[in-house]
Amino acid sequence: MAENENKAYKDFIRTIIDEDLKIGKNDGRVHTRFPPEPNGYLHIGHAKSICLNFGIAEEYGGLCNLRYDDTNPVKEDVEYVDSIKEDVRWLGFDWDDREFYASDYFDKLYDYAVQLIKDGKAYVDDLSQEEIREYRGTLTEPGKESPYRNRTVEENLDLFTRMRDGEFKDGEKVLRAKIDMTSGNINMRDPAVYRIKHASHHRTGDKWCIYPMYDFTHCLSDSIEGITHSICTLEFEDHRPLYDWFLEQLRVHHPQQIEFARLNLSYTIMSKRKLLSLVKEGKVSGWDDPRMPTICGLRRRGYTPESIRGFAERIGVAKRDSVVDIALLEHILRDDLNKRADRVMAVLNPLKVVIENYPEGEVEELNAINNPEDESAGMRKIPFSREIFIERDDFREDPPKKFFRLAPGREVRLKHAYFIKCEDVIKDDNGEIVELRCTYDPATKSGEASDGRKVKGTLHWVSTAHAIDAEVRMYDRLFKTENPGANGDFMDDLNPDSLDVLAGCKVEPKLTHANPGESFQFLRKGYFCVDTDSTPEKLVFNQTVGLRDSWAKIEGKKK
């Protein structure tokens, strides 16, 4: 809530709420809801909605319900309801005991439907699905009325009861609202209210064989819960007249539906259907694959709830379609991790260095600061010895301009340790560099030369005898194009190099005791977290996001 108070402006939704409050609407209450359908895992797009709905409730001292929109049993599953709860909670929101299900209201909804029939506002239609489609008309031509449209109330009541009692097969009959077959808004051309589905529901089991449609269910669920502001995405704008219609006909509490633009992210797909196919076709390891934009994927990748909430706040809320640059998400993530992740040294692609003038068998415990951005993170000791590993690409036999790392005859600093100078390069029969012979200057301990000479480069390293082996999973964007699927099948835009598993990485001994989920900055490399696959016997890290790499930029430009 504090974060919004220092905002100089308010988005259009909060502006509406302010006005409502000013005129005393809803007795000054603000009550929102987050209404997922449990048919898939939550993704970053949902996070925007979650932050909006729960955030508004928090800011205005109101409430936000978690409500599952579970009216289609054939697509829904408890696996999803559990994951949704976990994800919303992880993001940092709480719904107390207000965990609701549209299916909780099936009895009431049925009664409302009966009421509609009694009022002559709904009828049972015998038309087949295909016929209904034909009768609906097109975008430019009006529809025509079903021959069953004017059945008597008694007949409709009887038929609807028998629908409920299972006398008919799926699709044989449908309850429709009687509105206007000539409306320019197709949603108003006698929309379906109840359809027959002989399927068991994850909560109500086999109690029902008829299930209410979204439009009918959603507005009434909002009404029943006393929702004041029903916030949804743009594609429901056309449904608002219908939302309002049901509530007006039934003369019940009438929440206000407000629509905002859903989140789109560059290089990312957000459709649940497409995400599901990535999982089903094994393109990713699961819903929580660290490359997925799902909340659980981001969590496993090492994203923090704070970064996701911060992102939701930064992108704002508006009505125009937009595509947010994924670089913004990554920037906010780095910003957050920079302040909280302890620094540690890890060599991803090791190259052995022997420091010839360093005494054999000697080990020094050097002091290292854990986080320069956070003094309270303290210090640690790291072992230094005659043989160390450095990053293979921190050495160039023939250094290009502006490359100020190690090269023959060059001197660099080893972070927290000494200056070393490369004296010799050892190669194998194939000409592959296998080892560097260096010398160190004892007078540069802790990285400062007593004679005041400077070095341009500072390398991270790890002592060979003390290093721990680890697997590090490096990630790149899942899709190689900014707008996957824009030019055909989105599967064709999959980045074949989105995962690169590095074995034999060498990390500081401290990491042996790191727990899954813990984040670190691998000095000069990026942010990494311990994967859920990790064990003390076999450490596994995920690259969360790389550090900004201005050298890569310089080098990239030259090509």
Partner RNA sequence: UGGGGCGUCGUCAAGCGGUAAGACACGGGCCUUUGGAGCCUGUAUCCCAGGUUCGAAUCCUGGCGCCCCAGCCA
Restricted to residues 200-229, the positions that interact with RNA (CB under 7 A) are 211, 213-215, 217-218
The dihedral region occupied by 190, where left means phi > 0, alpha psi between -120 and 50, and beta the remainder, is left
CB of 9 to RNA, least distance (A): 4
| Residue 222 CA: distances (Å) to CA of 47, 123, 177, 432, 552 | 20, 24, 19, 68, 52
Please say if 37 is a catalytic residue. yes
Residues 376-405 vs RNA: string with x where CB under 7 A?
--------------------------xxxx
Rule CB under 7 A: choose which of 25, 136, 380, 421 binds RNA: 136
Q: Which range touches RNA (CB under 7 A), out of 179-187, 222-230, 297-305, 489-497? A: 179-187
Cα separation of 467 and 481, whole Å?
Answer: 38
Provide CB contacts within 8 A for 373, sequence distance 6+. 338, 339
Please say if 134 is a catalytic residue. no
Which one-letter amino acid corresponds to residue 259? E
Cα separation of 498 and 480, whole Å?
Answer: 9
Rule CB under 7 A: choose which of 114, 261, 491, 540 binds RNA: 261
Rule CB under 7 A: choose which of 178, 195, 203, 300 binds RNA: 195
Distance of CA 161 to the CA centre of its chain: 44
User: Is the CB of 136 or the CB of 202 nearer to RNA?
Assistant: 136
Provide CB contacts within 8 A for 394, sequence distance 6+. 351, 405, 406, 457, 459
Of residues 459-488, which lie at the interface with RNA (CB under 7 A)? none
The yes or no reply on residue 446 touching RNA (CB under 7 A) is: yes
Residues 358-377 vs RNA: string with x where CB under 7 A?
-------------xxx----
Of residues 113-132, which lie at the interface with RNA (CB under 7 A)? 125, 127-129, 132
Catalytic residue among 67, 164, 272, 410: 272
Of residues 8-37, which lie at the interface with RNA (CB under 7 A)? 8-12, 15, 35, 37
Cα separation of 214 and 193, whole Å?
Answer: 8
Owner of token pair 């921190």: 394
Return the closest-CA partner of residue 495 out of 294, 182, 268, 311.
268
Catalytic residue among 37, 58, 225, 259: 37
The yes or no reply on residue 62 touching RNA (CB under 7 A) is: no
325 φ, ψ (degrees, to nearest 5):
-70, 125
Residues 262-301 vs RNA: string with x where CB under 7 A?
----x-----------------------------------
Of residues 534-553, which lie at the interface with RNA (CB under 7 A)? 547-551, 553
User: Is the CB of 29 or the CB of 477 nearer to RNA?
Assistant: 477
Which one-letter amino acid corresponds to residue 98? R
Return the closest-CA partner of residue 472 out of 442, 507, 496, 426.
507
Rule CB under 7 A: choose which of 113, 219, 220, 315 binds RNA: 315
Which residues have a catalytic role annotated?
37, 262, 272
